[in-house]
Structure 1
Amino acid sequence: MMFDLSPMLPVWLLATLAVLTVAGAIYGALRGARGMLWRALAVLALLGWLSGPRSLHPVLRPVPQDALLVVDRSASMQVGHRSAIADHAAEQIMQDVAHLPGLTLHRVDVPGGTGHGTRLFEALDHADLPQGRFAGAIVVTDGMDHDVPPHLAPRFHGANGQTLPLHLLLTAHGEEQDRRLRILSTPPYAIVGQNATIRVQVDDLGAPSASDAILTIRSGDAPPQTRPIQTGTPQDITLPVQHPGETLVGLSVSPLAGEASTENNSEVVRIRGVRDRLRVLLVSGVPNQGERVWRRLLKADPSVDLVHFTILRSPNTDDGTPLSDLALIPFPIRELFQEKIRSFDLIILDGFRNSNILPDEYLTNIADYVRNGGGLLVTAGPEFTQDGTLQDTSLAQVLPAHVSTDGIVTRAFRPSLTDLGKTHPVTAGLTEDWGPGIAPFIRTSHTAKT
């Protein structure tokens, strides 16, 4: 039972009258007036009646409420018995809530985000619940979350201003320790022949103090290197970049005694080696207008070292001209395509038809060069379907398309961008509205992807 007031007059007026009544009674008593006490009590009784005293007998009924049970299903939950502990805790909570009248528990399993870590609070914010019936949340996790906000979401603030509960259950046996290797910074590329600096840090989570660890570095075919490292402090590692293309550097740190998992004790860093100048080998075969365009384009850039050879005569050419009358230098096949092929960043074969010019072993060297990160650009016309075509050699293994013998079509057509062409950095800025000033092409080739 509760007592409450429902005054018939404003409270300030009733209080004023009560004060005046008490003051008058005191004054009358001091002056010796008779009956002032009884008169004052009668007036106060009247004022008490006007204040509207009443007794309340509340009847409590459960109001439907909804709560959230968020279960972490990220990759870190697979360490040890964390996933089993989480399942057991979630089932026990669901069974206990089933006996609470008016409370509906909604379960949400949160997988690990692709590249964004575990996002438990995002799941809390986006959960679909009836408006105004949210009562709180229970989170079952290992504590590894990547979207912890500085303040609770507005959902956790009730209508009357109270803060709704958020309970956290950790799937661990007491305080666990774990050693983690972090890559703080790494250069996207480095000049060949110079050093690249990688900044790393080893953290001992849950450990009382910093300690020493052993960092192992593996790069290419070189034997692994080890060096001591202080946990909790950023460390710089300097490695030489010895060749162009991608270099994989494996980093691993010695395990911590009794740690939860060793899966985060290693990392792989990719560093792309580039030269300070771009070396391009341009080999032109069938004479065409594009040969001069290639040469002028590449020569106009001072950061490009261009080596250009034009095949004017094949070894099978027999026109009766004495060798003493030829001013042509021999094509340095072995030097270009075996001894120094790794020194080029890009090989351009422009209108090139292999009429006994390059033996198959050198074409295999070009294919291996591409597989190891080298660049190859083939520009061709009808000679790509004729005798000596490159697509009938070992180089076809790295070519992205194949043109059949009947794939050359001679007719007017206008090119259009494919879906890939609309996103490629070279052609993304082009529009298909070529305008009336651009004449149509007169030859095209039908290709099939390989």
Structure 2
Amino acid sequence: MSTHSPRRRSGVGRMRSGVHRIARWLPRPPLALRNVRHGGTRTLVAVIGMALAVVMVLLQLGFLEAVRITAAINYDQLDFDVALVSTEFEHFYAPGRFPGARLTQAQSLPEVTAARPLFTRMNFWRCPSYPPATGRDPALEGGGESSSHNALARWWLGARRPRPLQRRALLVLGIDPDRNPFHDPIRRQIAAAGSRLREDDRVLFNDRSNPDFGWDQWPRFTGWELGNRRVEVIGPFSLMRSFGADASVLCTDTNFARAFGLPSLDGAVNFGLVTLLPGSDPEEVAARLARALPPDVQALSRRALYRLESDYWVGQTATGKIFSFGVFLTMVVAAVVVYQVLSGDIRNHLPEYATLKAIGYGDGYLARVIQTQAGLYAVACYLPAVLLSVIVYRATDRLANIPMVLTGANLWTALVVMVITS
């Protein structure tokens, strides 16, 4: 015999009936959301796969952005509003030359406050061996990098990687020490060198250069050579290396000429860095300078020079083309990953979809369910992908000394790619 009274049973029944009536009026989770929640391990695998696809897209976009950043990295350290360059100018590392008298002529405009020269050219640098040579030169003995060190080991060892004495090309920057064209911190580092920088065959060495160039062995190593001349490194300066040069040194214009075996620079310069009065329009002043100066020189605002340099490195060099193609390729791969994830999910739910078709749901409804589910996957994978990309960006920046910046434009691009492909 039941111990429950009829009154108690009727009360429970009324409660359940009331709950069911309320539940009928509450919004139900969409079928797509319930599929995602019910997927369990399959959903987790799908989200991980799509997240890795997003990371690949963001990484390639970061590399392409790094090309744009390094294209302007040298100009960012220079104090100018308008640049005078040769009509043969191609990019920072192939600027051409023009008469230095154009700087004096440019100062005739009332808006111009200063016009300072900058000399740039590539030359060969004597890189010390590692471990430091002990009376023997492994390069002369025919030694090279140890075959026992594979690419991963060489990357891991970094500056401690065994290497022979060798010569490699680096960027040489020449300045008039009385007209320092740099911003801080390089301006302060040049000032700290003082009169020593004016002495013969003295240079500052970029402490952010590739480790192969030997900064880590200064001041123990003293056998530095620039071109065919022995030089003395008297201190550091800090300039991020770029895709155009792995290392750089800085010296006076007089020592710049000596480094290339020239008695003098014959009054020719590579860049004329023009600063203007506050409130002046660089574009308008550049146009006036172009009209006033002879046709052997062109005047470019900072913005125009940035655009010219970026167009060259992104659109004309192999580096820019490889990363641009990499962005396209990773987007295709991301689309394939998304397709595989969704097609697998559809196969797993074919019986349920067939049942829905049998009870009257049309193709349009099922298509909306699948599209909504794809959108949910894209949203679910995006935040983990961004967090993982931040870690990868920082590691790449630190280990490869490449300026990896996760820009808002790149974040939106990756999100749009995932939503569209989904």
* TM-score over 0.5 for the pair: no
Query: TM-score if structure 2 supplies the norm length?
Result: 0.19
Q: Which of the pair is proportionally richer in helix?
A: 2
Q: TM-score of the superposition, structure 1-length normalised?
A: 0.18
Bigger radius of gyration among the two: 1
Higher strand share: 1
